Amino acid sequence: MTIILSTLNARYAHASLGLRYLMANMGPLQQQTRIQEFVIGAKTTEVVEKLLAGQPRVIGFGIYIWNVEETTRVVAMLKRVAPQVVIVLGGPEVSHESAEQHIVQLADYLVTGWGDVTFLKLCGEILYGPKPLMKVHAGVQPPMAEIAMPYSLYSDNDIAHRTLYVEASRGCPFKCEFCLSALDKTAWPFALDTFLAELETLHARGARLFKFVDRTFNLNIKTSLKIMQFFLDKLAANPDDPVYAHFELVPDHLPDALKEGIARFPPGALQFEIGIQSFNPEVQALVSRRQDNAKAAENIRWLCEHSHAHLHVDLIAGLPGEDVASFARGFDQLVALKPHEIQFGILKRLRGTPIIRHTEAFGMVFDPYPPYTILATRDIDFGTMLRLVRFARYWDLVANSGRFVNTLPAMLGEAPFENFMAFSDWIYSQTDATHRIALDRLAALVTQWLHVRGMGKDAAQALVGSDYAGERPKQVAAAPQRQARHMAA
């Protein structure tokens, strides 16, 4: 092979959509190109050995916040053992502030932004001349209709064992300063009929789990309804062979027509990721986030009470101007709405995002190494931020896992944030760990905590025992296992 497209995915289940877009748009060079994916944690020497086995002349790497450190080691080794191989980088992590990055200094070329057509052009010049004079090539954004669809490049193995990422549009019209989409001017849709035809082909090949990467699925309601109808038709035609779809939803934009469509989905067929991030209007204004909090809360409540959709709602700790008390109020407000999962995230400074403008005024200190997590702010000191990080991890283990559905309300009481923070501090004092806590040990610790807080030992054991029976929950429709636990509760 002359050209290899490669990346290190966060998990095997994550099939790279970006590489498949590049492959689909390689035109006359497609026959000389192949995709070779790896998973973070792989040995550098083994990755390099496998890449060089095909004797490539060009290797293109997709660089993201989660793989930049490991890919840097791969590129450094490639440059030592095979300096004749041309290394081209692309992806969000290297598209901004690139001059200071070691991996960019090691590589031969860099494509920033959209790579669909620019990577092909660059490879042609590398292979056949004239040799490119510039190292950095700004990606050209082509008309959406000229971008070849990548979905036929999902293999049968991908369809059988991996989540399939799809997108009906690119970009985002919103300007939230912690997100790279803040740099977009708008959202650009793909031709809907063409996109739905691709979904039809994937479904006919056996695909059942579809994760939409669109930043704003419900921006255009007519489009949203047509896409949902595609899945509803599949569910109606094959109720014993259900599909599962994941969308990112704008929380304060849920008109009646969309509610009617959502209400038709059976349990386990639909998941929404909903970004709240903060309920504090002053913080929202600081980071340029437009959100009607009352409408957002009303819509989340409606989804919980009148639909079977699984709700994964996001909050971010460490935003400029938000102290612990403000975050706690937002957290308690969200708990009261009863979404299935609350993703407690810690702010990260993605390269290129405008959030950096608040650094001095709000004393924002970020880890200099990926994933560039906030370490302290004017309002939250380093020690407290670490407590929040541990809270987030234990919340994922206990609440989001769906393994303690009956026990969780007793742990949270009338002051969810305060009470779970007390549990978080206590369990850390007992374990000195946030990872590698076996489920049976976690259940024992939760039982002990309930007893410490005043519940009788027998009652605590019975309550936790009602959740922790050592049995897998009955699978609900096509939902993944973790979601199935919530839906079965």
Pick the range with the lowest mean pLDDT from 9-13, 251-255, 344-348, 468-472. Answer: 468-472
C-beta separation of 189 from 222 below 8 A: no
For 74-90, the pLDDT digits (tens) are 999 999 999 999 999 99
pLDDT over threshold 80, residue 416: yes
- Structure-model confidence comparison of residues 205 and 488, the more confident one: 205
The values of phi and psi at residue 34, to 5°, are: -145, 160
Q: What is the pLDDT of residue 479?
A: 58
Query: How large is the average pLDDT for residues 238-247?
Result: 94
For 10-60, the pLDDT digits (tens) are 999 999 999 999 999 999 999 999 999 999 999 999 999 999 999 999 999
Confidence band for 180, pLDDT divided at 50, 70 and 90: confident
Q: For residues 348-373, b (16+ Cβ closer than 10 Å) or e, as one string?
A: bbbbbbbbeebeeebebbbeeebbbb
pLDDT over threshold 60, residue 470: no
Mean pLDDT of the chain: 94
pLDDT over threshold 90, residue 205: yes
Per-range mean pLDDT, top range of 247-261, 415-429, 472-486? 415-429
Q: What is the pLDDT of residue 481?
A: 64
Percentage of the chain with pLDDT > 70? 96
Confidence band for 322, pLDDT divided at 50, 70 and 90: very high
Task: For the chain, give the secondary structure using H, E and C.
Answer: CCEEEEEEECCCCECCHHHHHHHHCCHHHHHHEEEEEEECCCCHHHHHHHHHCCCCCEEEEECCCCCHHHHHHHHHHHHHHCCCCEEEEECHHHCCCHHHCHHHHHCCEEEECCCCCHHHHHHHHHHHCCCCCCCEEECCCCCHHHCCCCHHHCCHHHHHHCEEEECCEEECCCCCCCCHHHHCCCEEECCHHHHHHHHHHHHHCCCCEEEECCCCCCCCHHHHHHHHHHHHHHHHHCCCCCCEEEEEECCCCCCHHHHHHHHCCCCCCEEEEEEEECCCHHHHHHCCCCCCHHHHHHHHHHHHHHCCCEEEEEEEECCCCCCHHHHHHHHHHHHHHCCCEEEEEECECCCCCHHHHHCCCCCCEECCCCCCEEEECCCCCHHHHHHHHHHHHHHHHHHHCCCCCCCHHHHHCCCHHHHHHHHHHHHHHHHCCCCCCCHHHHHHHHHHHHHHCCCCHHHHHHHHHHHCCCCCCCCCCCCCHHHHHHHHC
Contacts of 264 (CB under 8 A, 6+ apart): 232
Query: Which long-range contacts (C-beta less than 8 Å, at least 24 apart) are formed by 30-33?
Result: 32/1, 32/2, 32/3, 33/1, 33/2, 33/3, 33/4, 33/5
For 212-237, the pLDDT digits (tens) are 999 888 889 999 999 999 999 999 99
For 354-384, the pLDDT digits (tens) are 999 999 999 999 999 999 999 999 999 999 9
pTM here is 0.93
Q: How far apart are CA 419 and CA 328, in angstroms?
A: 11
Q: What is the pLDDT of residue 472?
A: 46
Percentage of the chain with pLDDT > 90? 91
Q: What is the pLDDT of residue 473?
A: 47
pLDDT over threshold 90, residue 174: no
Q: What is the pLDDT of residue 310?
A: 97
Contacts of 168 (CB under 8 A, 6+ apart): 189, 190, 192, 195, 212, 214, 217, 223, 227
Q: What is the pLDDT of residue 471?
A: 46
pLDDT over threshold 60, residue 454: yes
pLDDT over threshold 70, residue 482: no
